[in-house]
């Protein structure tokens, strides 16, 4: 037979608050609690020190450099106020490189999400003996260094003997100068990026799919739902949070485009600078033009764009989650 106190707790009544200790015993306990708090601070201190040295300090130093004429060619630097920022706003190359970055993000993010989901669905439904092979095949390109990936696709895009143009000529089509035509160079780099990085998104989707209980699908099948209805009504809604995470990570990664574009265009930015991203122009301003102060100002413009896009995307997915 349960006691009245237990019955009240079971009925959801708030439990009585424990009596607060006072007097000499409470005062004796305070030093021990303070020592425990100080011990926690010592555990946090190493990470806080590394965070301050390698993130907070560089961010503040970069912001200060954007207000100076700091150069790699001279040791000193003078405060120039907003001169670098005014020059940046009137520099057409800044806006061209920023536009190139946004276009690359727009054309690479949707396939990186859709193809990753398709591969995860295929692997999740594959036979046990085939699943490990698909996981290895899909994820293996992500392990390759960017230089190796760029070299592989440069050979595949080559006119005359490249595999891509070989397939086009076999189909009766004309060859395309993928990396030397300003209309195709950015798309060619986007295809390379999708092949290289889709494996990471695939793993996230596969882990989320394997977390969906099988009885949910069995109950829907008993209610007469077909495969397409189960995908639309069960799989996609339950993957909403994973999709939001993947889209956010992918947008941020695409906005930071540099390595593969720099290598595949031999550092030239492609014909007409059609494949020179914002980070590429920052690199040129800072390490070719030797103007660290001006490069710092452009860096903070790109940082603001990434922050705004991430906040908007995060806000959109948060609202969908609230209304679901």
How far is 195 from 139, CA to CA, in rounded Å?
10
Tell which residue, 63, 74, 58, 69, has the closest CA to residue 294.
69
CATH superfamily of the 57-319 domain: MetI-like (1.10.3720.10)
Give me the half-sphere count of Cα atoms (radius 13 Å) on the Cβ side of residue 233.
13
Which residue has 């941020």 as its token pair? 252
- Contact assessment for residue 242 and residue 209, using Cβ atoms and an 8 Å cutoff: no
Place of tokens 């670098």: 84
Closest CA to 193 of 252, 257, 126, 131: 257
Phi, psi of 52 (to 5 degrees): -70, -40
* Higher per-residue confidence, 235 vs 314: 235
pLDDT tens, residue by residue, 236-285: 999 998 998 999 999 999 999 999 999 999 989 889 999 999 999 999 99
Q: With 90 as the cut, is the pLDDT of residue 66 above it?
A: yes
For the beta carbon of residue 303, count every other beta carbon within 10 angstroms.
14
How many CA atoms are closer than 13 Å to the CA of 225, on its beta-carbon side?
16
Mean of pLDDT values over 130-147: 91
**pLDDT tens track for 296-307:** 999 999 999 999
Q: Where does residue 23 fall: left (phi above 0), alpha (psi -120 to 50 degrees), or beta otherwise?
A: left
When pLDDT is cut at 50, 70 and 90, the band that residue 76 belongs to is confident
Share of the chain above pLDDT 70, in %: 86
Structural domain boundaries of the chain?
57-319
Total-model pTM: 0.81
């Amino acid at each position: 037979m349960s006691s009245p106190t237990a019955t009240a707790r079971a009925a959801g009544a708030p439990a009585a608050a424990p009596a607060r200790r006072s007097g000499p015993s409470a005062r004796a306990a305070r030093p021990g609690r303070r020592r425990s708090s100080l011990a926690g601070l010592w555990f946090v201190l190493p990470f806080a020190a590394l965070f301050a040295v390698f993130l907070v300090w560089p961010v503040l130093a970069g912001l200060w450099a954007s207000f100076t004429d700091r150069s790699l060619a001279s040791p000193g630097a003078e405060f120039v106020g907003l001169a670098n920022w005014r020059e940046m706003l009137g520099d057409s190359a800044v806006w061209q490189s920023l536009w190139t970055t946004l276009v690359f993000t727009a054309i690479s993010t949707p396939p990186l999400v859709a193809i990753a989901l398709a591969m995860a669905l295929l692997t999740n439904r594959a036979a046990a003996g085939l699943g490990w092979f698909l996981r290895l095949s899909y994820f293996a390109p992500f392990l390759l260094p960017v230089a190796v990936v760029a070299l592989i696709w440069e050979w595949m895009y080559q006119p005359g003997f490249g595999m891509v143009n070989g397939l086009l000529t076999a189909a009766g089509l004309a060859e395309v100068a993928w990396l030397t035509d300003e209309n195709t160079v950015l798309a060619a780099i986007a295809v390379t990026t999708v092949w290289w990085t889709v494996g990471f998104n695939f793993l996230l989707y596969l882990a989320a799919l394997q977390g969906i209980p099988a009885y949910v699908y069995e109950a829907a099948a008993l209610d007469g739902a077909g495969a397409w209805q189960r995908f639309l009504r069960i799989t996609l809604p339950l993957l909403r949070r994973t999709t939001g995470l993947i889209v956010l990570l992918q947008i941020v990664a695409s906005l930071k485009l540099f390595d593969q574009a720099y290598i595949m265009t031999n550092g030239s930015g492609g014909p007409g600078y059609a494949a020179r991203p914002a980070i590429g122009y920052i690199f040129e301003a800072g390490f070719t033009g030797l103007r660290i102060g001006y490069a710092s100002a452009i860096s903070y413009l790109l940082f603001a764009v990434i922050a705004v896009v991430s906040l908007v995307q995060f806000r959109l997915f948060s609202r969908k989650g609230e209304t679901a």
